[in-house]
Structure 1
Amino acid sequence: MTSSRLAHEHDEHVCPRFHRAIELVGKRWNGAVIRALMDRPRRFGEILEAVPDLHDRLLSERLKELESEQIVQRRVYPETPVRIEYALTQRGRDLERILAEVERWAHRWLPQPSKS
């Protein structure tokens, strides 16, 4: 598909794939969870610490959703006690540049949130 055809399609309607991607990454907490995993794999509690105001039940739901979308991988290490880590898949890693741009845009254009 040529760039002129892409531009033409862009003018007429929003691509369903684009819309689905925005809904997935933009769903409350999903972007923050993905961002928290960009530095390194993390355990459940480490993700909770990295994402302020996120509660464990909701994190559990979001991780399951991101895992079903193959953005996050759940790794179980058979140790005593069992260790479980969450890491980005290649599909999740491919969002890194995009989310970095969103973060850059936010720092430029959005006010600093007030501390409660």
Structure 2
Amino acid sequence: MKKQTNEPAPSECPAAPQLQRALRVLSGKWKGEILWQLVGGKRRFGELRRAIPDVTQHMLTTQLRDLENEGLVKRTVFPEVPPRVEYEMTPAAKDLKPVFDELSRWANAHGRLESNPSVADDGAEGRRTGAPDHPSRSAP
């Protein structure tokens, strides 16, 4: 016999569509890292590229365009030679700072998060550990 609960199924939750949209907007290998870099203020493309060394120029450009289209990043082009472009968080993205702070707190509390489960194995069956992709950062 199936257990009955008074709680709605996840798909029936009134907040589910908004959460799904938020996750879609923020999904992408580099979007979180880009936004984290912009928490401290305006950054130029080259600064972002150096701050996130594993991202390709093409992928950084693509992810920045996606974030701009979603209204999370503002791109400012200065009419100079050579052209100067700066990226900054919009007010909507700045509202995500508490989320980043909480994720940082969570990562610090859980210490060793797996970065590549196929590489780091602590020997326990089904349980893998490893170092985080990036050192823990405190929120600016």
Q: Provide the TM-score with structure 1 as the length reference.
A: 0.81
Q: What is the SS of the residue equivalent to 2:58?
A: helix
In the alignment, structure 1 segments of 5+ residues that lack a partner are 1-7
- Greater relative contact order structure (CA < 8 Å, 6+ sep): 1
Offset at residue 26 of structure 1 (A): 3.5
**For residues 16-95 of structure 1, what are the structure 2 equivalents within 5 Å?**
16-95=17-96
Identity value in percent: 34
Distance 1:114 1:86 in 2: 24
Q: What is the alpha-carbon distance in structure 1 between the residues aligned to residue 8 and residue 35 of structure 2?
A: 30
Runs of 4 or more above 6 Å deviation: none
What TM-score do the two structures reach when normalised by structure 2?
Answer: 0.68
The answer as to 2:114 corresponding to 1:113 is: no
Residues 41 and 9 of structure 1: is their aligned pair in 2 closer, same or farther, counting only changes over 3 Å? farther
Q: Residue in 2 aligned with 1:4? A: none
For the aligned residue pairs, the C-alpha RMSD in angstroms reads 2.2
Alignment of 1:90-101 (within 5 A): 90-101=91-102
- More helix by percentage: 1
Shift of 1:71: 0.2
The secondary structure found in structure 1 opposite 2:77 is strand
Q: Can you give the 5+ residue segments of structure 2 that lack an aligned partner in the other structure?
A: 1-6, 113-130, 135-140
* SS of corresponding position for 1:75: strand
Paired residue total: 108
